[in-house]
């Protein structure tokens, strides 16, 4: 048993910022991740991080607030958005001060570019490696502070006593042993759940929403799970992300005839829907950045060129890049208040796994990296504060045999890898850019069937040591739980709003200008 003041689960941008701030608030901090910190999803963020600095054109915090509100389609919390946008310049100043290598303007300011839905060039960037450079700098900062980071441990359960969170149970992936860590407070920063869409997602294979499932099990609530952002431009064959900054810089979207069909700089939900409609008409869709020139592409978008060559065998300097929209970001997540706290005392959440109600029905590019810094800080400070006064009492016994015994080897009747792929294909088709009620209901029935078949599935690899077959099965079970939540939200929300587009109810309905809130027993409101 190890006692810590604050436990942070997840070591992406939000987790590391939370850890650094809890540490600076005087807490003893331990970070636990199922990978290594620099392998987290944050490293894949390319486009930038928003702050109304006005370095590349006139901008204001108010414009940032208004753009974010507009894109959120009336289901965001204006107060939270104001906190986010007002804190942004300070967040960038902090990142700059710890050594993030941002691109610069000719007059030695942090460079900024325009992303979709923004009225000004607002996204601070580091070529198209913005997330990579931020996560590595945060990691270096944690080393400087001597913050303990435990790698390769999979979250199984958030432990609670009578009235608050007091630790976690994890599976040490290397040893195959379960471990318990006790703490005064717990911060969940485990990322989103886009991998429910399997190969139809830009995300890392680790983005399986584990923390959200465990938080709900521990009594927290999730909200707005049906809002899933489809990024307009992923490579057609591989779902690899091509940054929005390619369009921000003047890239075109064209169909098979070479015709443009949409304003490329609308928010992502609108651009994705326009592409979806073209594809439905039988068109192939391409990103065209040839006119930007080789020098510009190599300077501002070096990663995009490399990825397009590798995965599509096209060079964007000379060729059209075949694209399609795929699942990219999940707006929903663990419901938190203005202190980043869940309804379970001592349990905090930040980053993509949390819903701070700033993205609403559609997130703006450049606001997610910002969210990690602003709310990661808030969660870290508040969790440290809570831990000071919370002396955890004796742990309630962790659920000993909550799950029935997992089938092994030849007992397995259903291959979960096949079901995982089927689930992803089905979600892309039926819970994607365009949805309708009866298909959603059928999909939910299929998900329930998958869940009922779980006892027939299992882990064929018998090794105790580093059993990724076992980890993938645990992740798959989490994704089934999340699938049910997404579908419940999508069926309940009998309207269209932002990323949730229902062909059978194509308009916004004021009756649904509310958040869909779900706990483990079902829809709360």
Active-site positions read 268
- Residue 412 beta carbon to another protein: minimum distance, rounded to whole angstroms: 10
If phi > 0 it is left, if psi is from -120 to 50 it is alpha, else beta; for residue 108 that is left
For residues 380 and 432, is the Cβ–Cβ distance under 8 A? no
Rounded distance between C-alpha atoms, residue 8 and residue 150, angstroms: 10
Identify the residue among 58, 62, 79, 105 touching another protein (CB under 8 A): 105
Q: Which residues pair with residue 201 across a beta bridge?
A: 327
Neighbour tally for 342: CB within 10 Å: 26
Identify the residue among 2, 263, 393, 468 touching another protein (CB under 8 A): 468
Element (H, E) at 4: strand 2-9
- Applying the rule CB under 8 A, the residues between 151 and 170 that interact with another protein are 151
Identify the residue among 161, 277, 446, 460 touching another protein (CB under 8 A): 460
Measured in residues, the chain has a length of 525
Range list of β-strands (E), 48-163: 49-50, 112-113, 123-124, 148-150, 153-160
- Residue 448 beta carbon to another protein: minimum distance, rounded to whole angstroms: 24
> Which residues lie below 8 Å from residue 382, measured CB to CB, with a gap of 6+?
339, 340, 341, 348
- Applying the rule CB under 8 A, the residues between 74 and 93 that interact with another protein are 93
For residues 245 and 47, is the Cβ–Cβ distance under 8 A? yes
Between 4 and 243, name the residue whose CB sits nearer to another protein.
243
The region of 103-111, 394-402, 481-489, 512-520 touching another protein under the rule CB under 8 A is 103-111
Identify the residue among 23, 129, 252, 348 touching another protein (CB under 8 A): 129
Identify the residue among 2, 57, 58, 99 touching another protein (CB under 8 A): 99
Rounded distance between C-alpha atoms, residue 118 and residue 365, angstroms: 9
Strand 123-124 to 112-113 pairing: antiparallel
Is residue 187 near another protein by the rule CB under 8 A? no
Is residue 443 near another protein by the rule CB under 8 A? no
Between 78 and 178, name the residue whose CB sits nearer to another protein.
178
Is residue 172 near another protein by the rule CB under 8 A? no
- Residue 68 beta carbon to another protein: minimum distance, rounded to whole angstroms: 26
The region of 383-391, 400-408, 453-461, 503-511 touching another protein under the rule CB under 8 A is 453-461
- Residue 25 beta carbon to another protein: minimum distance, rounded to whole angstroms: 16
Between 184 and 191, name the residue whose CB sits nearer to another protein.
191
Is residue 23 near another protein by the rule CB under 8 A? no
The region of 189-197, 201-209, 289-297, 495-503 touching another protein under the rule CB under 8 A is 201-209
Is residue 126 near another protein by the rule CB under 8 A? yes
Between 105 and 256, name the residue whose CB sits nearer to another protein.
105
- Applying the rule CB under 8 A, the residues between 379 and 398 that interact with another protein are none
Between 100 and 480, name the residue whose CB sits nearer to another protein.
100
Identify the residue among 104, 403, 429, 445 touching another protein (CB under 8 A): 104
Helix (H, G, I), strand (E, B), or coil: what is residue 140?
A: helix
Neighbour tally for 478: CB within 10 Å: 21
Strand 333-335 to 222-223 pairing: antiparallel
Element (H, E) at 407: strand 407-408
Residues in contact with another protein, shown as a per-residue x/- string from 333 to 352 under the rule CB under 8 A: --------------------
- Residue 418 beta carbon to another protein: minimum distance, rounded to whole angstroms: 8
Residues in contact with another protein, shown as a per-residue x/- string from 295 to 314 under the rule CB under 8 A: --------x--xx--x--x-
Between 208 and 478, name the residue whose CB sits nearer to another protein.
208
The closest of 428, 430, 417 to 458, measured between CA atoms, is: 417
- Residue 95 beta carbon to another protein: minimum distance, rounded to whole angstroms: 11
Reduce the secondary structure of 469-521 to three states and give it as a string: HHHHHHHHHHHHHHHHHHHHHHHHCCCCECCECECCECCCCHHHCCCCEEECC
Task: Tell the burial category of 448 from Cβ atoms under 10 Å away from its Cβ (0-12, 13-18, 19+).
Answer: middle
Which residue stretches of 286-334 are H helix?
294-300, 302-312
- Applying the rule CB under 8 A, the residues between 400 and 419 that interact with another protein are 417-418
Element (H, E) at 230: strand 228-235
- Residue 70 beta carbon to another protein: minimum distance, rounded to whole angstroms: 31
How many residues make contact with another protein (CB under 8 A)? 58
Between 122 and 141, name the residue whose CB sits nearer to another protein.
141
DSSP helix, strand, coil percent of the chain (3-state; round to 5) = 40, 20, 40
Is residue 174 near another protein by the rule CB under 8 A? yes
Neighbour tally for 185: CB within 10 Å: 31
Which residue stretches of 190-267 are H helix?
210-217, 245-248
Is residue 108 near another protein by the rule CB under 8 A? yes
Identify the residue among 30, 73, 122, 136 touching another protein (CB under 8 A): 136
Rounded distance between C-alpha atoms, residue 373 and residue 212, angstroms: 20
Between 260 and 418, name the residue whose CB sits nearer to another protein.
418
Binding residues for another protein, rule: CB under 8 A, are 35-36, 38-41, 43-44, 93, 96-99, 101-106, 108, 126-127, 129, 132-133, 136-137, 140-141, 143-144, 146, 151, 174, 204-206, 238, 240-241, 303, 306-307, 310, 313, 417-418, 421, 459-463, 465-469
């Amino acid at each position: 048993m190890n006692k810590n003041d604050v436990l942070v689960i997840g070591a992406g941008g939000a987790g590391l910022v939370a850890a650094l701030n809890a540490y600076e608030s005087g807490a003893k901090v331990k970070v636990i991740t199922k990978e290594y910190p620099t392998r987290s999803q944050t490293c894949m963020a390319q486009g930038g991080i928003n702050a109304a600095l006005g370095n590349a054109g006139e901008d204001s915090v108010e414009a940032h607030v208004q753009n974010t509100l507009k894109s959120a389609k009336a289901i965001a919390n204006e107060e939270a958005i104001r906190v986010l946008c007002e804190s942004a310049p300070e967040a960038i100043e902090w990142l700059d001060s710890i050594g993030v290598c941002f691109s610069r303007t000719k007059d030695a300011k942090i460079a900024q570019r325009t992303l979709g839905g923004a009225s000004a060039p607002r996204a601070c960037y580091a070529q198209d490696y913005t997330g990579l450079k931020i996560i590595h700098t945060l990691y270096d900062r944690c080393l400087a502070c001597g913050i303990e980071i435990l790698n390769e441990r999979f979250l199984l359960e958030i432990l609670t006593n009578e009235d608050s969170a007091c630790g976690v149970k994890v599976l040490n992936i290397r040893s195959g042993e379960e471990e318990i860590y006790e703490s005064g407070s717990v911060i969940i920063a485990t990322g989103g759940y886009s991998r429910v869409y399997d190969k139809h997602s830009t995300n890392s294979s680790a983005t399986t929403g584990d923390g959200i499932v465990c938080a709900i099990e521990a009594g927290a609530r999730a909200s707005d799970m049906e809002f899933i952002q489809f990024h307009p431009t992923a490579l057609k064959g591989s779902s690899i992300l091509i940054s929005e900054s390619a369009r921000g810089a003047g890239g075109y979207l064209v169909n098979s005839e070479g015709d443009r069909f949409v304003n490329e700089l609308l928010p992502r939900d609108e651009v994705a829907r326009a592409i979806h409609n073209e594809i439905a008409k039988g068109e192939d869709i391409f990103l065209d950045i040839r006119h930007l020139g080789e020098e510009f592409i190599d300077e501002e978008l070096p990663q995009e060129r490399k990825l397009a060559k590798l995965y599509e065998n096209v060079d964007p300097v000379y060729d059209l890049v075949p694209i399609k929209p795929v699942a990219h970001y999940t707006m929903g997540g663990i419901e938190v208040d203005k202190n980043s706290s869940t309804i379970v005392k001592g349990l905090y959440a930040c980053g993509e796994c949390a819903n701070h109600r700033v993205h609403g029905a559609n997130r703006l590019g450049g606001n997610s990296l910002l969210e990690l810094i602003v709310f990661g800080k808030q969660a870290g400070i508040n969790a440290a504060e809570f831990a000071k006064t919370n002396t955890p009492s004796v742990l309630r016994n962790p659920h000993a045999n909550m799950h029935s015994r997992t089938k092994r080897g030849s007992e397995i009747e259903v291959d979960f890898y096949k079901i995982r792929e089927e689930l992803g294909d089905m979600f892309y088709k039926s819970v994607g850019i365009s949805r309708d009620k009866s298909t959603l209901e059928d999909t939910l029935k299929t998900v329930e069937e998958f869940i009922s078949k779980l006892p027939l599935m299992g882990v064929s690899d018998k090794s105790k040591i580093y059993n990724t077959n076992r980890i993938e099965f645990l992740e798959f079970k989490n994704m089934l739980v999340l699938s049910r939540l997404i579908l419940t939200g999508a069926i309940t929300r009998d309207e269209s709003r932002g990323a949730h587009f229902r062909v059978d109810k194509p308009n916004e309905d004021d009756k649904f200008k509310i958040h869909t809130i779900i706990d483990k027993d079902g829809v709360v409101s």
